[in-house]
């Protein structure tokens, strides 16, 4: 494995153009894969008020080396004022899959 893998989470409103967001992210070679999990309901505090929203969870497979550029890309493209961007280290995984993430984020 040449690049340390990273899993990045973000959410979008279920009314946003999720397919375009996910495809553009992969086309940019900042992510090898984006999984879209529909049907989540989020409850959160925003500007001192408890809010709720129907959202879609995105699981983004990338590398730590690409994280700064990925974060910037999400911040620029995301419709939320403060988007969820959480990066989770991948401790273990199938070596062939982890290598695939590294390969796809260099030459897709």
What residue ranges do the domains of the chain occupy? Answer: 5-104
- Residue 16: pLDDT band (50, 70, 90) is confident
| Model pLDDT, residue 54 | 96
Strand, helix or coil for residue 20: helix
| Model pLDDT, residue 1 | 45
* Residue (of 12, 29, 15) closest to 85 by Cα position: 12
For the segment 31-84, what is each residue's pLDDT rounded down to a tens digit? 999 999 999 999 999 999 999 999 999 999 999 999 999 999 999 999 999 999
Q: What is the CATH number of domain 5-104?
A: 3.30.70.120
How far is it, in rounded angstroms, from Cα 28 to Cα 63? 14
| Model pLDDT, residue 106 | 78
The backbone torsions φ and ψ at residue 100, rounded to the nearest 5 degrees and listed phi first, read -60, -40
The mean pLDDT value of the chain amounts to: 94
84 and 9 Cβ atoms separated by less than 8 Å? yes
């Amino acid at each position: 494995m040449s690049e340390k893998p990273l899993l990045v989470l973000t959410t979008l409103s279920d009314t946003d153009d999720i397919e375009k967001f996910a495809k553009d992210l992969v086309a940019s070679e900042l992510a090898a894969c984006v999984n879209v999990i529909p049907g989540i309901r989020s409850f959160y505090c925003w500007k001192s008020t408890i809010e709720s929203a129907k959202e879609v969870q995105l699981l983004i497979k990338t590398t730590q080396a690409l994280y700064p550029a990925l974060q910037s890309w999400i911040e620029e493209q995301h419709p939320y004022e403060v988007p969820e961007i959480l990066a989770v280290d991948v401790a273990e995984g199938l070596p062939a899959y982890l290598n695939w993430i590294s390969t796809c984020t260099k030459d897709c």
